[in-house]
Each structure stands twice: as structure tokens, then as C-alpha cells.
């Protein structure tokens, strides 16, 4: 039986003042399955095309923090101990940093993990 889910695409905006961005990840929350997950993929050559001075390691660390918060636990600080719904809300809250979430979208799925992988392929990974 299909269950509702919510997701946001993680966008890298290396120079916020220019507004140019590239998709680099997806965060998905499915309350019915108690699922919160993130998948990330940073295309370094695309990022360097947008900003030759981009700090790849800092961007990677920022993207990995989304995965860590989804996993939860004490090592992610206070936000990692929040209930899943609140963690998702924190992850998709608007921010003006190099990594920003899109607006939240919704859908239906039988398998949140498979849906997350499908969204990563569709929204982030290069075609082919």
C-alpha cells in the first residue's frame, strides 16, 4: 500500500549572490514507515564550472551533515536527537548557505528507500 512521503532536493549554490546552482542530494521523510534518509552526490567538475574557487571539501562536509542528521544519534548534536519529523523540518528549513534545500515536494511510495534512490537518479545524477 502506498504511503505519503515528503522530499527536498539539496542544491549547491557556490556563490549565493549569483544564484547559480546544481543539485547534489535528496532528503526524504516518510512518517508511516518512520523513515528519514538522505543521498548525496557531488559532481566536482560541475561545481568547479560554476565556481573555480569552490571549496570542495567544505561542500562535501556540508552535504554529509545532512546524511548524519538523518541517521541521528548523539554525535550529530541536539538536532540528531530530535524526532524524525522535527529533524526533517530542520533539514528542509530555508537557509542562505552554500547548500540549500528546495521547497518540499510530496508523493506516494511503497518503499521509501527505493524512492530515495530513484529521486537521486532522477534529480541529481547525470543522465545515462
In a domain, 43, yes or no: yes
Instruction: Tell me how far CA of residue 83 lies from CA of 28, 33, 34, 52, in angstroms.
Output: 14, 13, 10, 39
- Give me the mean pLDDT over the 72-95 stretch: 92
Instruction: Give pLDDT tens digits for 7-63.
Output: 999 999 999 888 899 999 999 999 999 999 999 999 999 999 999 999 999 999 999
In a domain, 24, yes or no: yes
- CA distances 108 to 16, 22, 25, 50, Å, are 33, 25, 19, 34
Residue 22: inside a domain: yes
Question: Which domain, by its residues, includes 115?
Answer: 3-123
**Mean pLDDT, the chain, integer:** 95
pLDDT of residue 123: 97
Examine residue 117 and state whether it is found in any structural domain, yes or no. Answer: yes
Domain count, the chain: 1
What span, in angstroms and rounded, lies between the C-alpha atoms of 27 and 90?
11
- Predicted confidence at residue 127, as pLDDT, reads 85
Q: What is the pTM of this model?
A: 0.93
Residue 46 lies in a domain: yes
In this predicted structure, what is the pLDDT of residue 58?
A: 95
Of 66, 55, 52, residue with least CA distance to 11? 66
Report yes or no on 49 lying in a domain: yes
Determine, yes or no, domain membership for 80.
yes
- Name which of 4-8, 21-25, 75-79 the model is least confident about: 75-79
The grid coordinates of residue 23 equal 543539485
Q: What is the pLDDT of residue 57?
A: 96
Q: Is residue 128 a part of any domain in this protein?
A: no
Amino acid at each position: 500500500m502506498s504511503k505519503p512521503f515528503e522530499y527536498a532536493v539539496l542544491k549547491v549554490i557556490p556563490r549565493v549572490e549569483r544564484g547559480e546552482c546544481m543539485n547534489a542530494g535528496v532528503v526524504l521523510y516518510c512518517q508511516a514507515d518512520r523513515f528519514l534518509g538522505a543521498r548525496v552526490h557531488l559532481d566536482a567538475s560541475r561545481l568547479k564550472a560554476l565556481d573555480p574557487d569552490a571549496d570542495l571539501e567544505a561542500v562535501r562536509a556540508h552535504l554529509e551533515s545532512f546524511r548524519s542528521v538523518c541517521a541521528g544519534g548523539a554525535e550529530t548534536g541536539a538536532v540528531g536527537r530530535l524526532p524524525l519529523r522535527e529533524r526533517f523540518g530542520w533539514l528542509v528549513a530555508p537557509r542562505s548557505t552554500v547548500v540549500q534545500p528546495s521547497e518540499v515536494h510530496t508523493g506516494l511510495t511503497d518503499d521509501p528507500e527505493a524512492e530515495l534512490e530513484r529521486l537521486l537518479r532522477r534529480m541529481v545524477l547525470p543522465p545515462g
